[in-house]
Amino acid sequence: MLTDGGRVEFREALNDRAITGRTLAQFRRGSSDQTWRELLDRDVCNSPCESTIRSVYQYTKDADGLDNDEAKKLLNAYATADEVSVGPGSSGSATVQQRIDDLADSNVDGVTDAMADVSASTTGYKQIAGETEAARGLLDGSDIELSDDYYGLSDGPNVETDVDVNVEWEITVDGTVLDSPSIESKNYNPNEYSDFLVRQESSDLIDKFVTQAESRVDKDSFVLVTTDEYLDRLETLGETSRIRDAVQQRTSADAEVAFTTYNELEN
C-alpha cells in the first residue's frame, strides 16, 4: 500500500511541469518548419548549432567551470536568439559564443561567472550578448573584468546592485576621460518600451549609479553602453541629461555618467 503522502509525491513526479526543454517548447509554439523528424536527424543544425553546444560544454570541464544546469540554461537562452533583431545578439548565438571564447582566450576575469548568471530567456540572451560585446569593445589596452560584484546601501536607494563590466584603466568615452569606470550594459530595443517604461528604467539606473557611487571607494564614474537605437530614444526624451544631472546631484563626489553604444566602443 502507498501512504497518502507517497501518493501525492508520486503524482507530483508524474506532473507535466517537470518536463521542460526546447523540443517541447517548439511543439507548443506550433513551429511548423521544424518537425520532430528533423530534430532527430543529427545532421540538422538547430539553433544553437552543435559547434556552439560543444563550445558551451567545454566550459563544464574545469572544476570551477559551469555545471550542467548552468550550461543548459545558457543554451536555452541561446535558443531564443531569433527573437532579437536589434543590437548585440542579433547576429545569432554562434557570434555571442565566439565573443565569450575570445574573452576567455584573452584571460578576462569573470567570463564563466557571467555565463553562469544567464537566465534561460531572451532577457538572459540579450544580457550576455550585451555584456560580452561591451567587454570586447573595451578589451584593447584595458584591464577589464566581467564582474559578478554586488554593492548596496542598507538605507537605499538599492539594497543590492550588480556591476556588469569593471575597467581598471583610464578610457575616453564620448569625448570624456574617465578613470576606471563601471560599465552598465543595457541591450535594449526601444520598440519594446513605451516612454514611461524608458523613464522608469532610467530612474532605476539613476538609483543604481547613486548606490554604487556611495558604497564604493574611488568609483565615481559610470558608462551606460546601449544600442544606437535606445541611445537615440534616451536623447529624444531628454533622459541622458536627466540621468547625468540626477546622479551628479545625488552623489557626494559629483559622480559622472557618460553614454555610448556598442558600435562606438567597437570602433
Binding region for other proteins (CB under 8 A):
1-2, 6-24, 27, 36-37, 39-40, 42, 46, 48, 53-54, 57, 68, 72, 75, 119, 121-123, 127, 154, 156-160, 191-197, 199-201, 203-204, 207, 238, 242
- Min dist CB 190 to other proteins, Å, is 11
Q: Which is nearer to other proteins, 107 or 194 (CB)?
A: 194
DSSP state of 251: S
Q: How far apart are CA 140 and CA 92, in angstroms?
A: 24
Do the beta carbons of residue 225 and residue 262 sit within 8 Å? yes
Q: Which is nearer to other proteins, 61 or 107 (CB)?
A: 61
Q: Which is nearer to other proteins, 71 or 258 (CB)?
A: 71
Q: Which is nearer to other proteins, 120 or 171 (CB)?
A: 120
- Min dist CB 45 to other proteins, Å, is 11
- Min dist CB 251 to other proteins, Å, is 17
- Min dist CB 101 to other proteins, Å, is 17
Geometric angle at alpha carbon 180, from 252 and 184, rounded to 5°: 80
Q: Indicate the residue type of 38.
A: E
Q: How far apart are CA 29 and CA 10, in angstroms?
A: 29
Quick check: helix, strand or coil at residue 189? Answer: coil
Bond into 181 cis (ω within 30)? no
> In whole angstroms, how far apart are CA 166 and each of 49, 109, 155, 220?
31, 10, 25, 12
**Structure-block grid coordinates of residue 41:** 536527424
Q: Which is nearer to other proteins, 9 or 232 (CB)?
A: 9
- Min dist CB 39 to other proteins, Å, is 5
- Min dist CB 140 to other proteins, Å, is 28
- Min dist CB 238 to other proteins, Å, is 7
Do the beta carbons of residue 86 and residue 227 sit within 8 Å? yes
Quick check: helix, strand or coil at residue 141? Answer: coil
- Min dist CB 20 to other proteins, Å, is 7
Q: Which is nearer to other proteins, 57 or 169 (CB)?
A: 57
Contacts of 169 (CB under 8 A, 6+ apart): 141, 142, 143, 144, 180
**Structure-block grid coordinates of residue 17:** 511541469
> In whole angstroms, how far apart are CA 78 and each of 28, 33, 37, 187?
18, 19, 22, 15
Q: Which is nearer to other proteins, 172 or 194 (CB)?
A: 194
Q: Which is nearer to other proteins, 117 or 173 (CB)?
A: 117
